[in-house]
Amino acid sequence: MTVRDTPAHDADTATAVQVRVEGEVGEEELAYVREKVGAALARPGLAPVSGDVRITRAVAHHAEQPWSAGAEIRLGGDVIVVQAQEASARELADRLHDRLRSRTERAAHRADAARRSATPPPWRGGPER
């Protein structure tokens, strides 16, 4: 079982995510995973992104879903944790992309919503109807 660390840097964003690989993972699969992770985290306006993604391919040939991934991404002050298991590397990369995209959107919108303040109720000095 080999372990490889490869950076997934996108030149347009402040993305610094390490992709760690365990098991028999080809360069084509690794490139596709890097592309999908970079696409999920390359949204303009995001806080600085760092972290790592671990891709594992099971050695057992009888496993139904031999591909698994775990990601721990730091997005500004938030930590996003994503896990996925699939039957093929492409399905795993697509599932990982979807989950990373939704979690980063949620974190970004939560930060936007926290900055907005609601109008105070009348008993707290807000406008009366």
Domain total for the chain? Answer: 1
| 68 found inside a domain | yes
- The per-residue pLDDT string of the chain (129 residues; one tens digit each, 9 = 90 and over) reads 445 555 554 443 335 899 999 988 899 999 999 999 999 998 888 888 999 999 999 887 777 889 999 999 998 888 999 999 999 999 999 999 999 999 998 888 775 555 566 777 788 888 886
| 20 found inside a domain | yes
The whole-number pLDDT of residue 8 equals: 52
Q: Which residues contact 98 (CB under 8 A, 6 or more apart)?
A: none
| 121 found inside a domain | no
CA distance 30 to 28: 5
CA distance 98 to 40: 8
Q: Tell me the residue range of the domain where 30 lies.
A: 3-113
| 126 found inside a domain | no
CA distances 77 to 38, 47, 57, 74, 82, Å, are 19, 8, 31, 7, 16
| 40 found inside a domain | yes
| 119 found inside a domain | no
73 in Cβ contact with 13 (< 8 Å): no
| 128 found inside a domain | no
Q: What is the pLDDT of residues 94-120, one digit of tens each?
A: 999 999 999 998 888 775 555 566 777
CATH number for position 93: 3.30.160.100
